[in-house]
């Protein structure tokens, strides 16, 4: 079954005449432990707008992002971006895909679009006793009753249905108002990246042997930080495009060296399934944190000559 959570959000980005269309869907609402769900979002933005996808290490809560990709279709007056995420759930409890944030920037203004939360029903495998019980009573027939049937039950059902519909409408209305009130501006790039690293460590991918997931998480955190910190489309860059940007960027030589090493060395782990040794795996996280510390805006040098090229 396909569930569609779609809505339109008018964003005052460059002028009142431009709007962003945001649609998010999932392909099923019930799973067993380990099943895969396709989460797909489409964003139509005005020309010149930048879309920063969510951090896969934190945006999907307890769901694990197995793989993801994106594509972009350029139109005359707007661009259409499509993001696909394959996610799984590995805990025996009911779960909900939380609101997933997508940041849209245009002309120096930034807004965050959130998908609606999607409750996912966890289906447990039936045991043999339940099957035997079902088989043993399948031949039983209900008690027969003579006479004309009463239609009073029909009115009761219709009344209950109407009350339930009103209840659901009011519940959704107040839920939307509550969600709108809870939306807060995104954290600064450095703080957001450090929080994402903390959440990634809590997932313990390395201890579970999920090395590719750990390295993908580090790479996405670093790309998202670079995209927000230096206002580039880093989240959409391939490794080759990322290295090209680093070479022409206003970064200091040591900063360039750290970033180049990280993207070159993690590429075989992500796409060739290479298993790095423990020292290299530890250095991946160290290089990301060192790059964040080297390039974070400093209050005392916010107007200094070094920080100005970083913001360019």
Domains of the chain and CATH, by start: 1-124 (2.60.40.10), 187-312 (no CATH)
Percentage, residues of the chain above pLDDT 70: 79
Is pLDDT above 50 for 96?
Answer: yes
Q: Are 157 and 150 in contact (CB under 8 A)?
A: no
Region 143-149: mean pLDDT is 53
Distance CA 277, CA 292 (A): 24
Alpha carbon distance 43, 106 (integer Å):
14
**Which pLDDT tens digit goes with each residue over 35-61?**
899 999 999 989 888 899 999 888 898
Distance CA 166, CA 288 (A): 51
pLDDT class for 286, splitting at 50, 70, 90? very high
Report d(CA 55, CA 192) in Å as an integer.
Answer: 9
> Using one digit for the tens of pLDDT, what is the confidence trace for 180-234?
656 667 889 999 999 999 999 999 998 998 989 999 999 999 999 999 999 999 9
The β-bridge relationship of strands 30-31 and 118-122 is: parallel
What are the pLDDT digits (tens) for 97-120?
Answer: 999 999 898 888 988 999 999 999
pLDDT of 143 > 90? The answer is no
Strand ranges of the sheet holding 101-106, from the earlier edge strand across to the other edge:
50-52, 101-106, 109-114
pLDDT of residue 76: 83
Sequential DSSP letters for 207-236: TTT-HHHHHHHHHHHHHHHHHHHHTS-GGG
Q: What is the pLDDT of residues 227-263, one digit of tens each?
A: 999 999 999 999 999 999 999 999 999 999 989 999 9
pLDDT given for residue 148 in this prediction:
56
pLDDT category of residue 305 using cuts at 50, 70 and 90: very low
Contact 270, 223 (CB under 8 A): no
Report residue 283 as tokens: 């250095």
- For residue 73, the cross-strand partners are 80
Rounded to two decimals, the pTM is: 0.41
């Amino acid at each position: 079954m396909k569930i569609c959570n779609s809505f339109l959000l008018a964003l005052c980005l460059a002028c009142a005449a431009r709007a962003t269309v945001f649609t998010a869907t999932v392909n099923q609402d019930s799973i067993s432990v380990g099943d895969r769900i396709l989460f797909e979002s489409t964003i139509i933005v005005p020309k010149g707008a930048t879309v920063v996808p969510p951090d896969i290490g934190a945006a999907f809560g307890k769901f694990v992002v197995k793989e993801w990709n994106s594509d972009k279709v350029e139109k005359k007056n707007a661009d259409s971006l499509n993001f696909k995420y394959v996610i799984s759930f590995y805990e025996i409890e009911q779960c909900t895909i939380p609101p997933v944030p997508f940041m849209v920037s245009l002309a120096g203004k930034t807004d965050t679009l959130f998908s609606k939360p999607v409750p996912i029903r966890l289906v447990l495998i039936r045991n043999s006793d339940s099957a035997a019980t079902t088989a043993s009573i399948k031949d039983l027939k209900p008690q027969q009753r003579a006479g004309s049937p009463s239609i009073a039950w029909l009115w009761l059902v219709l009344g209950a249905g109407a009350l339930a519909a009103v209840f659901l409408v009011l519940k959704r209305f107040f839920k939307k108002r509550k969600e709108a009130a809870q939306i807060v501006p995104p954290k600064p790039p450095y703080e957001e990246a450090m929080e994402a690293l903390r959440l990634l460590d809590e997932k313990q991918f390395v201890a579970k042997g999920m090395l590719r997931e750990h390295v993908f998480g580090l790479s996405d955190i670093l790309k998202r930080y670079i995209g927000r910190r230096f206002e580039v489309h880093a989240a959409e860059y391939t490794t080759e495009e990322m290295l090209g940007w680093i070479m022409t960027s206003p970064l200091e030589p040591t900063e360039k060296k750290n970033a180049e090493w990280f993207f070159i060395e993690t590429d075989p782990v992500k796409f060739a399934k290479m298993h790095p040794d423990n020292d290299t795996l530890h250095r991946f996280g160290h290089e990301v944190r060192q790059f964040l510390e080297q390039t974070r805006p400093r209050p005392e040098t916010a107007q200094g000559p070094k920080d100005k090229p970083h913001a360019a």
